[in-house]
Structure formats: structure tokens, C-alpha cells
Amino acid sequence: MDSLPRIGLGIDVHRLATGRPCVLGGVPFPEAKAGPVGHSDGDALLHAACDAVLGAAGLDDLGTLFSDRDPAHQGRASAEFCSEVMARVRAAGWRVVSLDAVLETEQPKLAPVRGAMRARLAELFELPVTRVNVKGKTGEKVDAIGRGEALRATVVALLLPL
Ligand SMILES: [Zn+2]
């Protein structure tokens, strides 16, 4: 294996539904009016981060590793996917050195918990919090995100050999 860094990109969209629990970046939002619909807990930010890391390591994607047709993954906390993804990434000889994320949603308001989301991502992907960033954006009233019907997470990850 060469010693060059690898970059990966992950994008994930989930519908939002009233009454669904809302967990984003592994952080619960108990006051949220709606939460992401998904086979697991629908944590789009963690799903996009996993896909970015898997992509950089050349290890396929989250949907292939954890099929949404498998009942074992029903309602599963996405933090567990991150642990399994990191085990595979380590086994393939890589470590995550930086993550940058954009989370687009009309609600909940992300600003008060961005620090907590950075800390949780740092913990799950085994890197210092100073190398993790989370940016919140609204959908500017445009398209399904702007109407509050969905949210989208986009993450880029940089990996180096162990
Ligand atoms: Zn997802």
C-alpha cells in the first residue's frame, strides 16, 4: 500500500416525519418537531460520515455492509455502524485524520449542539475534535429540504495509512 492520503465523500438524505425521534451526529434532539425516517435511527450525518470513511478506504458503502432489508438493523443506533466501519477501516490499514460535514435541515436548530456533534463524531471516528467540523445550513425554503420534508448530510473524510 502506498503512503498517500485518501479522500472520501458521503451524502445521505432522509425524509423527516413528525413524531419520529431525532438523533443527528449521534446527538439526540428531544425538542425536535420531526425526526428522520429510516430503517435504522435515520442519522443521516453518521451515515454520510461512514460512507465518506468507507469510500476513502475503498471499502464499498454503508448500504452494502448493513442492508436496510436486514431485520437485524431495524431501529439500530447508527453509532453502532460507526464502530463496525472503524473496525473495518483499521483492518484495511487506515485511520481517519479529518472530517468536514454539512448538515442541511430546516429543523431542529443545530447551532446550540454543533460542539456536541463535533465531539461525538471525534469519539466515533477516533480523531481529535479539532479535526472535525460540522456546519449547519437551512434549505432557504427551496426544495424538499427547504419545506422541512427532508434533511441532507454531506461529509468529506481524509484518511492516512496507519
Ligand atoms: Zn441514511
pTM, full prediction: 0.96
pLDDT of residue 89: 97
The candidate with the shortest Cα–Cα distance to 122, out of 73, 157, 161, is 157
**Cβ of 28: how many Cβ atoms within 10 Å?**
14
Q: Quote the ligand 1 centre to 65 CA distance (angstroms).
A: 13
69-115 pLDDT, tens digit each: 888 888 789 999 999 999 999 999 999 999 999 999 999 999 999 99
Q: Quote the ligand 1 centre to 41 CA distance (angstroms).
A: 8
112-140 pLDDT, tens digit each: 999 999 999 999 999 999 999 999 999 88
Q: Quote the ligand 1 centre to 7 CA distance (angstroms).
A: 20
Residue 43 and residue 131: Cα distance in Å, rounded? 21
Residue 93 and residue 158: Cα distance in Å, rounded? 14
Which domains are delineated in the chain?
Answer: 6-161 (3.30.1330.50)
